[in-house]
């Protein structure tokens, strides 16, 4: 994909995220009609919308893809959109506000002792729903 593309971004699809059947978030996925690069935006249901001091979409770095990183422990969970690739370390704020670094060797994998982590590739679930409760 050419970094010099003058992107023409259009809405592409969505991935819905549920907890026990109740919708908690949606990832809106857009793509460039020219280079086909994906862009994503996470909207949390019931959380006030706060504008960030930036314009436009975050661009994927080369070889990266959009993932949802989910942290889960004792019925509590947190999640966020990240761009990464399998085998790369991901720094994130985990349950309890603790900064952690995790590395996945494959997607849709769980690991961890008291806090479990899962990496979900958005591209794989376009137009579908994922329920956190069924981890």
Length of the chain: 135
Q: Dihedrals φ, ψ of 134, to 5°?
A: -90, 35
d(CA 94, CA 116): 10
Q: Percent of the chain having pLDDT more than 90?
A: 24
Close Cβ partners of 43 (under 8 Å, ≥ 6 residues apart): 25, 26, 27, 28, 49
d(CA 79, CA 106): 18
Is residue 2 over pLDDT 80? no
87 CA to centre of own chain: 16
- The pTM (predicted TM-score) of the whole model is 0.81
Q: Percent of the chain having pLDDT more than 70?
A: 83
């Amino acid at each position: 994909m050419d970094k010099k593309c003058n992107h023409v971004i259009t809405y592409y699809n969505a991935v819905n995220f549920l907890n026990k059947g109740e919708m908690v978030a949606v990832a809106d996925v857009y793509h460039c009609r020219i280079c086909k690069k994906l862009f994503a935006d996470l909207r949390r249901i019931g959380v006030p919308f706060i504008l960030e001091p930036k314009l436009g979409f975050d661009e994927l770095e080369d070889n990266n893809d959009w993932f949802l990183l989910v942290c889960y422990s004792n019925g509590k969970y947190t999640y966020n959109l990240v761009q990464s690739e399998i085998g790369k370390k991901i720094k994130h704020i985990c349950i309890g506000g603790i900064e952690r670094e995790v590395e996945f060797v494959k997607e849709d994998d769980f690991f961890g002792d008291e806090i479990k982590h899962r990496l979900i590739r958005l591209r794989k679930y376009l137009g579908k729903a994922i329920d956190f409760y069924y981890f």
